[in-house]
Structure 1
Amino acid sequence: MAVYEFEVTMTCEGCVNAVNRVLNRLDGVQKVGISLEEQKVEVVTDDSLEYQTVYDTIAKTGKKITSGKTL
């Protein structure tokens, strides 16, 4: 299991839903937690899903990722 956390600029529930939707389509994602107030996205994945893949998937929504790390 791997846990990734990203700081993502989101302004509304539509942003949250867009990020949530694309992440839940990824094979290997076990859980997605998103906080609009804290501008954070936490993704729990199988070990087979790499950080860069999750990062790129969030980036495809057009939201700005200000930082990211593996927990």
Structure 2
Amino acid sequence: MTKHEFEVAMTCEGCSGAVTRVLNKIGEVNFEIDLPKKLVWIESDKDVEVLMETLKKCGKEVKYNGTK
């Protein structure tokens, strides 16, 4: 599985909770959230576009930083 890094405009625990909820819905992903750095690492075989669109559902600005 590939590990992708995304920058998500999270400011609080509520924001990271929203990210957790949308990612849990797509299944077959492992993820880590670093709230202070506003980073989300997602390990998945899904297409980057799918992951990006899923993250955008939490209502925050999302930027793809590449694979790690």
Q: Taking structure 1 as the reference length, what is the TM-score of the superposition? A: 0.86
Report SS of the residue matched to 2:26: coil
1:66 to 60, 63, 67: 63
1:68 Cα deviation from its structure 2 partner = 2.9
More helix by share: 2
Q: How many residues align?
A: 68
Q: Work out whether residues 52 and 64 of structure 2, in 8 Å CA contact, stay in contact via their aligned partners in 1.
A: no
List structure 1 segments (4+ residues) > 3 angstroms apart after TM superposition. none
Partner of 2:19: 19
Where do 5+ consecutive residues of structure 2 fail to align? none
Q: Is 1:3 paired with 2:10?
A: no
Deviations 1:7-62 (A, max 9, x none): 11111000000001111211321x110011000000011x2x11100000001111
Report SS of the residue matched to 1:25: helix
Letter of the aligned partner of 1:50 in structure 2? D
Rounded to whole Å, the distance in 1 between the matches of 2:7 and 2:31 is 14
